Structures are given as C-alpha cells and as structure tokens.
Amino acid sequence: MRTQNSASRAVADQVETQWRHRHPEGQVRVRDLALAPPAHLDQPTYESFGEPGATSVRYSDQAIDELRAATDLLISTPLYNFGPPSTLKAWFDHIIRAGQTFHSIAGEFRPLLSGRRAVLVLARGGAQPDDPAAADLVRFVRTALAFVGWPRVTALAIAGTQEPGDRVAAAQRAAETLWDADDPGDDDAAAGDAVDRAAIASLRVAQGRAIIAGDAVAYAALCTEDIELLVPGVPRVHGHTAFVACEREIFARGTIRRFDKTPLATVIHGDFAYEIGLQHVESSTATATGVFAAVQKYTHVFRRTRAGWRFAVLMSNPSA
C-alpha cells in the first residue's frame, strides 16, 4: 500500500540485498503493485484466459512469464483491514490460470510452474499475539503459491510496527539469514521459526502493555493455566489464580511507567521455547528494588497452546 515509510518494504529490501549477495550473477525483476496496480479481475478478462495473446490478458501473460523465468520469489505486503491489499489479491487472480500455471488430470489439480523458493514479508501495526488475520494471510499466500508450483514459502512477519521499539530493524537482522536454508528439508522449520518468533515478540509487547496498565488479568491471559513465577526472595507462584493475586499485589506497590525487553537469545524447539535477556523497568518508586529494579536479567519459557504461544515460566533476577 505505502510507497514511503513502509515497514514491509524496508524489510523486503534487506531480503533482496541478501539474495543479491548470494546470487551476484542473478537478475531481479520488480513488480510494484502500489505504483502500478493490476486491474481487478472482471468477466471479460476471465473469459479471455483461454486465449493467450488477447489484449485483455496481457497483464496476466506478463506476470506469468515472470514467474516462469524466476527461481526465487519475494512478496512483501501489509496486513490491511484483516487481509491482503486488494492489489495483491488481484495479482494472484491474474497468475492462477488454468492451462498456464495449473491444469487438471483426472480431476486432480497439478501445478505447472517449478519455483525454488519464495519469501513472504508481512507487516502489521497491531502487536496482539497470534493474530488470526495474519495467520490467514500467510496461509492464503502459501496455498496459492503451492497451487501453481511454489511449495516452499518462508514467512517473515513483523508485528507492532505502530508500537515503540525498532521492530523493523530486528526483522531486517532476521532477514540476513533467510536465504541460508537452501536444503528443502529445512524450509518448513525456517518458515515456522520466523512466524513463531514473531508471535513470541508480539507476546512480549502485550506483556509490557499489561504491566504498564497494571492489569493483572490481562497479564494472566498471556500465560498458560499452570504459569509459574520464579523470582529470588519471592515465594513460588503457580497457576492463574495465584498469579493474578501476586501481580495485583505488585502493581499496588507503585506504577510502572516503562517496561522494555532486550532478548539476547531465543531458542524454539517444537511446542516449547525459552528466552534469556534483559528487561528495563522505570517505576514511580524512586528507590525501586526487587521486581521494580531498573535492570533485570530474565529467563522465560514459552509453550504453544491451542490459543497460540503463552508464557509458561517467568523467571527474573532483580540483582542484574
């Protein structure tokens, strides 16, 4: 949508730069759907799809020729009003074409293209964890590309672009290694890892919001039912009810004006992940100690649930 100050464009530029470094002899063809939007599919165009060379299908022919010639594909898009921009959907409508990019054999659809690798850069302003609209957009792009012959799609999602913090820069750093997994067997793990990391990053943002708001119930909603809170000098807290009571007591001691996290390492393995880092706290209490300490080391364990990633264990060391 945007041609200026676009998070998805900024990250996609880094993905392209890394591809060029790995393929110095390669050529890049750019099709900017914001500057040159495709016409939305209408009946005359659809009815001309069986007539290659017809004026009404010129755009479709050109877009399909580009895909045939390509080995790798990069798509960058925002999540716009719960879905892709209509221009991206229109592009897919022009390239999903019987006899050109897919055909049917004995009632079974088969792709006619043979792409090697695709990367999807997806940006959204909201920071809520596990946004179903974002997951739906990733699923749509993967399904559509696999249908025409691009089964390998790595998704790099950037959440909370309207929130404080340089999430675009973090995503650009992640983009530096996207092209490293050249083994097709690594692709599903790489794709899932990028999406999972984005979900965990969104969880961090939501945690900060709840803490600054002093909302113990909202904080608990980001945790598993058997959440454990482990802080030196504080009795072990286990379960939602105890967690809410503990956080309410903590929030009653003072207001937290700032709560930022700096992850140092995040490791994801199946349905579990752990992370170590530093968190910076600015409190209304002038001589804050304990959970209000200005700088703390933290270790968190996350668990994937039916509702998405949630905090399972929260550990911090206020003496950092």
Q: Residue 295: what pLDDT?
A: 73
Tell me what pLDDT residue 55 has. 85
Please, what's the largest Cα pairwise distance for the chain? 76
Task: Decide the pairing of beta strands 153-158 and 117-123.
Answer: parallel
Rounded (5°) CA angle 114-115-119 = 160
How far from 101 is each of 27, 30, 39, 184, 291, CA to CA, in Å? 22, 20, 19, 22, 58
Beta strand 295-305 pairing with 272-283: antiparallel
Bridge partners, 313 (sequence order): 228, 301
pLDDT in tens, the chain (320 residues): 556 667 888 888 988 998 998 899 999 999 999 999 999 999 989 989 987 778 889 999 999 999 999 999 999 999 888 899 999 999 999 999 999 999 988 888 999 998 888 999 988 877 665 678 888 898 899 999 999 998 888 888 787 776 555 666 666 776 676 676 554 444 444 445 666 777 888 888 889 889 999 999 999 999 999 999 988 777 899 999 999 999 998 888 878 888 888 888 888 887 899 998 888 888 776 444 445 556 778 899 999 888 888 999 999 876 54
Phi, psi at 158, each rounded to 5°: -115, 115
- What is the per-residue pLDDT for 188? 43
pLDDT at 185: 41
What pLDDT sits at residue 66? 95
Q: What are the structural domains, with CATH classification, of the chain? A: 7-201 (3.40.50.360), 215-317 (3.10.450.50)
From residue 121, alpha-carbon distances to 75, 77, 84, 99, 202 in Å are 6, 6, 12, 29, 16
DSSP state of 267: E
How far apart are alpha carbons 137 and 77 in whole angstroms?
Answer: 10
Between CA 297 and CA 278 the distance in angstroms is: 5
* pLDDT the model gives residue 291: 53
In order, the DSSP letters of 196-225 are HHHHHHHHHHHHHHHHHHT-HHHHHTTEEE
Q: How far is CA 119 from CA 16, 116, 252, in A?
A: 10, 11, 46
Q: Return the structure tokens found at 264.
A: 């140092």
Q: Residue 241 CB: number of other CB atoms within 10 A?
A: 11
What is the spatial distance between Cα 305 and Cα 317, in angstroms, rounded to a whole number? 27
How far is residue 119's CA from residue 8's CA, in Å, rounded to a whole number?
Answer: 12
